[in-house]
Amino acid sequence: MRSGQLKFAWRCRPNPRRSSAPRFAEFFAGIGLVRMGLESSGWRVAYANDIDPEKYAMYDAHFQDADEHFDLSDVHTVAGSALPDVDLATASFPCTDLSLAGARLGFKGEHSSAFWGFVSAIRGMGARRPPLVMLENVVGFLTSHGGADFRAAMEALNELGYAVDAFVLDARWFVPQSRPRLFVVGSMIPDANSLDSAPESRIRPALLRRFIAEHPAIRWRLRDLPEPPARSERLLPDILENLPDDAPEWWSRDRVEYLYNQFSERHRAAADAMIVKRRWSYATIFRRVRMQANGQKRSMGELRTDGIAGCLRTPKGGSGRQILFKAGYGRYAARLLTPRECARLMGADEFFIGVPDNQAFFGFGDAVCVPGISWIAEHYLNPALSSVRAGSHRAAVVGALR
């Protein structure tokens, strides 16, 4: 699995007989969904890095070429001098410490501090730095430590020669899953049409626009982007597997009734409205621990009935597993979402899944929405790169570093 740096650098040299498609390096690659999104928009992977062998196994089983370019090592040990020439480097670095799950430790935390390993690797490329970089993380990245972590990241990209842009995409605009994520594009490519300020838009909400306005010392380069789709054309029922009533995935009657009794009054009313319908309808459930009026904590089932699944998560503890609720004709049933349904919720419908369910849940829960990445490629990365292709990107880098 692990590639030595010298061997790796040799294997990743451009092959003139291969496609002239723009090349990218994917850090924190996970199971490779950034790759899927970029490849569908004309890009070609040159390098991938992740430290998790279980995600590597899923990546390799699907793409079947990981031994050619996948570096299974700690990002802090990656030497920029050994990286291949690429047009783009992406980093979906760990979000744990930027969220409540990680106690908002931010860049001081064990996981999210891996961002600095990415920065070090890009710095080590010197004048071979790619003209574009892209970060992806939870929206909480923007407010971590009162905005200090996000500011530090933007300043680090500036120091590497990149002007920066930031925007939010929600997976629900492309697939039936609520998954807002913050993206940052760093660019060394001049843009005569860049915006002077961030306009009001779904992709640049008020909190982000305020941050940009309040940090003029950061070197911004805001691109005028179109509005994404208003909503996914598919809804939750469209991505479900057709499992028979006696399939082992469906929970026992006792287990389902226990779940039903965990609903609050409001959520039980919503469930009852589904149950009495003369058709099947579907919702998703997360279990959450809520404080009761008596001061006691209680595990509650919270129902979502708008045709959109909640955000997929890694299954750390029971609350991370999303439950499907099926009701109608006076009956109701429940089960976990299947790995195939999780793949569809990420826009990776045909992803090969040959691993245990829990491993698949971890892989998809830590991944990105494939059509969202394709949208970024088509409306941002491809147009930007069209003005500076691989033969001249060295000049762009040298110019940006002056």
Which tens digit of pLDDT belongs to each residue from 186-225? Answer: 999 998 889 999 989 999 999 999 999 999 999 999 999 9
Residue 352 has pLDDT above 60, yes or no: yes
| 120: CATH | 3.40.50.150
Domain carrying residue 333:
242-337
143 and 262, same domain (yes or no): no
165 and 310, same domain (yes or no): no
Distance CA 113, CA 168 (A): 22
Q: Mean pLDDT throughout 36-49?
A: 98
Which tokens go with 295? 């001061």
Closest CA to 136 of 220, 33, 219: 33
Distance CA 32, CA 267 (A): 36
Question: Which of 109-113, 134-138, 165-169, 289-293 shows the lowest per-residue confidence on average (mean pLDDT)?
Answer: 109-113
72 and 17, same domain (yes or no): yes
Which tokens go with 362? 């971890």
Q: Does 45 reside within a domain?
A: yes
Q: Does 353 reside within a domain?
A: no
88 and 39, same domain (yes or no): yes
**Residues in CB range of 158: below 8 A, 6 or more apart:** 164, 218, 219
Q: Mean pLDDT throughout 12-37?
A: 80
Q: Mean pLDDT throughout 225-233?
A: 95
150 and 189, same domain (yes or no): yes
pLDDT in tens, 112-150: 578 999 999 999 999 999 999 999 999 999 998 899 999
Burial of 133-167, coded b for 16+ CB within 10 Å and e otherwise, reads bbbbbbbbbbbbeebebbbebbebbbebbbbbbbb
Number of domains in the chain: 2
**Structural contact between residues 49 and 28, judged by C-beta atoms closer than 8 angstroms:** yes
**Which burial class, exposed, middle or buried, applies to 393 when counting CB atoms under 10 A from its CB (0-12, 13-18, 19+)?**
buried
Average pLDDT value over all residues in the chain: 88
Q: Does 343 reside within a domain?
A: no
Within the chain, how many helices (H) and strands (E) appear?
14, 11
Statement: the pTM of the whole predicted model exceeds 0.75: yes
Which tokens go with 323? 């439950």
Distance CA 57, CA 55 (A): 5
152 and 248, same domain (yes or no): no
57 and 151, same domain (yes or no): yes
Q: Does 344 reside within a domain?
A: no
Which tokens go with 242? 């057709």
Say what the pLDDT of residue 295 is: 67
Ramachandran class of 338: left when φ > 0, alpha when ψ lies in -120 to 50, beta otherwise? beta
Distance CA 211, CA 142 (A): 8
Distance CA 297, CA 301 (A): 13
203 and 257, same domain (yes or no): no
